[in-house]
Amino acid sequence: MKILLALPALVLAQPAWAQHTGHDMPMAEPASAPGAQAEDQPHHHETATPASDPHAGHAMPHTMTMPMPAAGTSAPSSETAPPPEAGSGPARAADAIWGADAMKASRAALARGMGAMMLSKAMVDRLEYRAHKGTDGYLWDAQGWYGGDVDKLWIKSEGEGAFGGKPEQAEGQALWSHAIGPWFDLQAGVRHDFAGPDRTHAVIGIQGLAPYRFEIDAAAFVSNKGDVTARIEAELDQRVTQRLILQPRAEVTLSAQDIPELGVGSGLDKAELGLRLRYEIAREFAPYIGVEHEWRAGGSADYARAAGDSTSRTSLVAGIRMWF
């Protein structure tokens, strides 16, 4: 049997309901479906005045003011702070039973275990044989990280060369990587070139996932000689089947100045366009084949011609992508 009380009285006459709670007679909510009435409430996010809750802590002294901000016939539609009777401070109830010392280790382990794990990943995005005019070559492009969700140490290395010779280009980067949004990390650190003239660079860049699922890695470099360069890479995984993936890839390098020592002209230095088809035997292990074309542009092309090198090259590639 429902008892439809005068509802304002229900709210204001707090001792009345307090007497009822121990009884078997259930209090009725308003006849109009209470679920429905609160379900489509618009967002209200004002934090209303705290401690306006006459229902809470009925065993507490009645020092608070009684009026409610809204009529009590329906549940409040905006969020309010907990009443003072809810207490404050960390959750330490178990200390009273088991002792603070006994709880300490498990409490720390819980906080660590629910969101603060440090993990690491190592990934070889490209490790490939490159067949082209002249001596065939090789290329590696790997990176790895260690850290939490927001801050990571990020290591990158890439390089290439012709078989039988020293690498023509090889570099390593050590970066601090900081998540600046859901999709992108800001990365800053140093790069060292191990092949060719000895150079160390300061690095600042961003890496992440752009709309349409483009994987982007863009960085600017300032070398210890004062040269300013930049590199932008973009990859897009196109799934043909659940395991067969076609990956277009583009990379451009830019230079703010001529660097004759490196054969680099100012402006667009180099562009690469590649297409790789990989098969994921496992998600972590995918052999691939592909084709890549690279161009030297502008001043860089002039340097290449002057040195008797070609300004563009097509390579057939075969390699492995893997991570763990």
Partner 1 sequence: MELDRRGILGGLALAGTAFAVPRWAQGASLHDSAIRPGFDEVGGAVIDLTIGRGPSIVQGRRGHATAVNGTVPGPLVRLREGQTATLNIRNTLDAETSIHWHGLLVPFQMDGVPGVSFPGIPAGGHFTATFPVRQAGTYWWHSHSGLQEQTGHYGPLVIDPAGTDPVAADRDYVLLLSEFTPMHPHTIFEKLKKGEHYFNYQVPTWTDRYPLTGAQRRMWARMRMMPTDISDVTGSTYTYLANGRGPLEGMEYLFQPGERIRLRIINGSAMTFFNLRIPGLPMTVVAADGQNVRPVEVDEFQIGVAETYDVIVEPGQSPAYSIVAEAMDRSGMALATLASHPGARATVPPLRDPPLLTMADMGMNHGGMNHGGMNHGAMDHDGMAMDSPSEGAMKMDEGGGMDMSGMSMRDTSLLPPDVSVGPGIDMVSMSPVDRMGDPGIGLDKVAHRTLDYRKLVALEPNPDTRVPSRLLELHLTGNMERYMWSFDGKKFSAVSDEPIRFANNERVRVRLVNDTMMAHPIHLHGHFFELVNGAGGTHRPRKHTVIVQPGGSAQFDLTANEPGDWAFHCHLLYHMHAGMFQIVTVVPPAEDAA
Residues 40-99 that bind partner 1 (CB under 8 A): 40, 43, 45, 47, 53-60, 68, 72-80, 82-83, 85-94, 97-98
Size of site (CB under 8 A) for partner 1: 90
* Neighbour-count burial for 132-143, b at 16+ CB within 10 Å, e otherwise: beeeebbbbbbb
20 phi and psi angles, rounded to 5 deg: -80, -20
Q: Are 277 and 244 in contact (CB under 8 A)?
A: yes
The residue (of 75 and 202) whose beta carbon lies closer to partner 1 is 75
Choose the binding region for partner 1 from 104-112, 154-162, 165-173, 221-229 (rule: CB under 8 A): 104-112
Q: Are 7 and 72 in contact (CB under 8 A)?
A: yes
Sites for partner 1 among residues 215-274 (CB under 8 A): 238-243
Q: How many CB atoms lie within 10 A of CB 176?
A: 14
Q: For residues 151 and 145, what is the distance between their CA atoms, to the nearest angstrom?
A: 10
| Contacts of 172 by beta carbon, 8 Å cutoff, 6+ apart | 155, 156, 157, 191, 192, 194
Residue 263 one-letter amino acid: G
The residue (of 165 and 212) whose beta carbon lies closer to partner 1 is 212
Sites for partner 1 among residues 140-159 (CB under 8 A): 149-150
Shortest distance in whole angstroms from residue 177 CB to partner 1: 11
Sites for partner 1 among residues 161-220 (CB under 8 A): 179-183, 209-213
Shortest distance in whole angstroms from residue 271 CB to partner 1: 25
- Binding flag, residue 100, partner 1 (CB under 8 A): no
| Member of 27, 153, 228, 256 binding partner 1 (CB under 8 A) | 27
Sites for partner 1 among residues 278-317 (CB under 8 A): 283
Instruction: Give, as one character, the DSSP assignment of residue 94.
Output: H
Of 195, 197, 203, 199, the residue nearest 222 (C-alpha): 203
The residue (of 102 and 202) whose beta carbon lies closer to partner 1 is 102
Shortest distance in whole angstroms from residue 99 CB to partner 1: 9
Tally the C-alpha atoms within 13 A of residue 149's C-alpha that lie toward its C-beta: 8
The residue (of 112 and 305) whose beta carbon lies closer to partner 1 is 112
Shortest distance in whole angstroms from residue 233 CB to partner 1: 18
Shortest distance in whole angstroms from residue 318 CB to partner 1: 22
Shortest distance in whole angstroms from residue 124 CB to partner 1: 14
Tally the C-alpha atoms within 13 A of residue 112's C-alpha that lie toward its C-beta: 8
